[in-house]
A = this chain, B = another copy of it.
Amino acid sequence: MLITLTTDFGSVDPFVGSMKGVIARINPQVQVVDLSHGIPPQDVMAGALVLRDCIAFFPRDTIHVAVIDPGVGTARRPLLVESDGKYLIGPDNGVLSLALKNTAPDRLIHLSNSSYHLRPTSATFHGRDIFAPVAAHLSLGVDPTLLGDPVDGFVHLTWPRVFQSKLGIEGEIIHIDRFGNLFTNISEGDLLALPKDQLRISLGNIIIDGLVHNYAAGEDGRSIALINSSGLLEIAVYKDSAERRHLAGIGDKVHISVREK
């Protein structure tokens, strides 16, 4: 049994270590796997994207804990989402939502049963006091229905809409990775209607003609576009940062049109 952790806690503070201690005290046998602790502070969307991209690769019964939680201690609910044999635990602020990829959850539980929480429970660190102990108890086989009351809905992040028209497709940058590669919200499927060998991708006044298959195709230094390993259209520069080169940012529009043959 595995518990994964995704947080914006960084590597300077005791936050991640405390969560690992809490888990180890409840279930010393469980393996804890760090997905990422470098999510930008309070960036719920970035955390949701990491979960979305990772969890399909893990064994079915893995427990995924995500703590990007600026609303900790308010009315926002601590939540368990069960979907296709996977468990997602975190605040009900959308961080768990993209991992479901438009499927309905099999079960939603408001983690209201404080007998599975650390006591006293702080109002500022539910990662340590609620999410870690609940995940550890779940890994021991505690029935999810004991962890709190079932609820009907949960907060969904909006995947920014891709606009399709006769003129082409408009999407936007939704993530910038460590290499400065620009992830758009445009998926491989969105491009199916267009003739693959005539695609023209524009970002500001940058124009890229055609898709390539790998980064080294841009060895000559030009900007390139490709379908990346998350299945999304990405704009990149080989061994350089497209973010810096184009002064690009999250939310910048990307247009796809069809060029003349």
Given contact pairs A2-B24, A42-B239, A179-B41, A14 touches B124 in the complex (Cβ within 8 A): no
Q: Complex formed: what's the CA distance from A22 to B35 in Å? A: 12
Q: How large is the interface on A (under 10, 10 to 19, 20 to 34, 35 or more residues)?
A: 35 or more
A239 smallest CB distance to B (angstroms): 5
Contacting B at CB under 8 A, from A232-257, are 238-239
Which of A8, A9, A178, A216 has its CB near the most chain B CB atoms (within 10 A)? Answer: A178
Q: Are A10 and B178 within 8 A (Cβ)? A: yes
Write out the residue numbers on chain B whose beta carbons fall within 8 Å of the beta carbon of A216. Answer: 70-74
Q: Are B12 and A128 within 8 A (Cβ)? A: no
Q: Are B13 and A229 within 8 A (Cβ)? A: no
Who on chain B is nearest to A122 by CB?
B229
Q: Complex formed: what's the CA distance from A74 to B226 in Å? A: 14
Q: Are B35 and A16 within 8 A (Cβ)? A: yes
Q: Other than the known A9-B178, A42-B239, A123-B213, what 14 A-B pairs have Cβ atoms closer than 8 Å?
A: A13-B175, A14-B52, A17-B50, A18-B57, A20-B33, A21-B57, A21-B62, A31-B31, A41-B239, A57-B128, A71-B214, A72-B216, A122-B229, A123-B214
Sample (29) of A-B pairs whose CB atoms are under 8 Å apart: A4-B17, A11-B11, A11-B38, A12-B39, A13-B36, A13-B175, A13-B178, A14-B36, A14-B50, A14-B52, A18-B53, A18-B229, A20-B35, A20-B58, A21-B56, A21-B57, A21-B62, A22-B57, A41-B178, A42-B239, A71-B214, A71-B216, A73-B213, A73-B214, A73-B216, A74-B214, A124-B215, A124-B229, A128-B229
